[in-house]
Amino acid sequence: MDAIRTENLTRSFDGRKAVDRLTLEVPRGIVFGFLGPNGSGKTTTIRLLLGLLDADEGRAEVLGFDTRAKADEVRKRSGALLEFNGLYERLSAADNLDYYGRIWHMSKAERDSRIKQLLTPLELYDRRTEPIGRWSRGMKQKLAVARTLMHQPELVFLDEPTAGLDPVASAALREDLERLAMQEGVSIFLTTHNLAEAEKLCAQVGVISRGQLLAVGSPEELRSRTSAPRLYITGRFAPQTLEQMKSNPLIQKIEQHNSRLVLDLNDMQRSHEIVTQLVQSGAQIDEVRKEKADLEDVFLNLVDEDKRGEA
């Protein structure tokens, strides 16, 4: 059974579709990244999946339960970190978790052992009695993630978990998320507009723009599916060489940054022909590097094409 299945899930606000015929299957046991620019419908999707919002059309199942008819069952088995972290600033870290444990009807012994189990790998267990009001954002966010896991859910929704964190704190939280996902064997549905984050953390990503799903796959698949192979060449090039290259049918796009050429090719198998032509035209080449475009290029291309489709 999949963690999440949706079929033509659609929801409008004021006549505008925030989520538009979303059909998606997310397997269990992976970190799935839902990637899209601001306003693309990520949070609305999570709210629909949690049964906090009703769909206008289509349907969704989470952990095998219909989100409309069985929202209680879905919420019992899921954790969620949405825009508000749900923490009480005046309580200690342990009391924050304890409070949630009570809501989930866990016994005192269960709560105590769970708090230790969750806070130890986050390196927060020794600080569990401190009121969290003075903690850094990064520490609070780790605690907020621990909170979503308190009742041992099968699936956790994390809505932009690293938003507002500095790069060091973001990286630390990502590492902790990876570790917790392994330790807990929990499925994670994570939204982000940060591509590097999705790439590092997610086994699969879905790209959404203006409510519509544009692509789904592993970061690796998306890169090779959508991107032109790219060649980076460092050296010295005469201006007429560049002119010549512009009319070369193997080259889709050419850019020059000082001593570096960036070439998008139609066929990476024939990159040696380009290098040969450059040398023959008198270029002095220091270095040639081949690379697939990164996820950022793929993402920007997809979103760009989608926007142009609208015009």
Ligand X SMILES: Nc1ncnc2c1ncn2[C@@H]1O[C@H](COP(=O)(O)OP(=O)(O)O)[C@@H](O)[C@H]1O
Per partner kind, with CB cut-offs from 5 to 8 A, the member of Mg ion, ligand X, none near residue 194 is: none
Under rule CB under 5 A, residue 44 binds Mg ion: no
Task: Say if residues 80 and 151 touch (Cβ distance below 8 Å).
Answer: no
Residue 227 DSSP symbol: P
SS (H, E, C) 128-170: CCCEHHHCCHHHHHHHHHHHHHCCCCCEEEEECCCCCCCHHHH
Per partner kind, with CB cut-offs from 5 to 8 A, the member of ligand X, Mg ion, none near residue 38 is: ligand X
Can you tell me the distance from the alpha carbon of 81 to that of 182, in angstroms, rounded to the nearest whole number? 19
Q: Applying CB under 5 A, which part among 25-33, 35-43, 162-170, 248-256 lies near Mg ion? A: 35-43
Task: Indicate the residue among 43 and 148 with the shorter CB distance to Mg ion.
Answer: 43
Under rule CB under 6 A, residue 15 binds ligand X: no
Closest residue to Mg ion, judged by C-beta, is 43
Under rule CB under 6 A, residue 206 binds ligand X: no
Among 9, 32, 40, 93, binds ligand X (CB under 6 A): 40
- What 73-76 contacts at long range (C-beta under 8 Å, 24+ apart), as own/partner pairs, is 74/49, 74/50, 75/50, 75/51
Task: Indicate the residue among 39 and 185 with the shorter CB distance to ligand X.
Answer: 39
Can you tell me the distance from the alpha carbon of 138 to that of 173, in angstroms, rounded to the nearest whole number? 7
Strands 204-209 and 31-35: parallel
Per partner kind, with CB cut-offs from 5 to 8 A, the member of Mg ion, ligand X, none near residue 269 is: none
Q: Applying CB under 6 A, which part among 34-42, 55-63, 218-226, 271-279 lies near ligand X? A: 34-42
Task: Indicate the residue among 17 and 230 with the shorter CB distance to ligand X.
Answer: 17
Q: Applying CB under 6 A, which part among 37-45, 126-134, 168-176, 231-239 lies near ligand X? A: 37-45
Under rule CB under 6 A, residue 209 binds ligand X: no
> Strands across the sheet with 187-192, in order?
78-81, 155-159, 187-192, 31-35, 204-209, 212-217
State how far the alpha carbon of 242 is from the alpha carbons of 108, 249, 265, 276, in Å.
72, 13, 15, 14
Can you tell me the distance from the alpha carbon of 19 to that of 159, in angstroms, rounded to the nearest whole number? 16
Task: Indicate the residue among 47 and 151 with the shorter CB distance to ligand X.
Answer: 47
Q: How many residues line the site for ligand X (CB under 6 A)?
A: 10
What number of CA atoms fall less than 13 Å from residue 46's CA on the CB side? 24
Q: Applying CB under 5 A, which part among 18-26, 39-47, 117-125, 200-208 lies near Mg ion? A: 39-47
Under rule CB under 6 A, residue 39 binds ligand X: yes
Binding site for ligand X (CB under 6 A): 13, 18, 36, 38-44
Q: Which residues of the shown chain bind Mg ion in the complex (CB under 5 A)?
A: 42-43
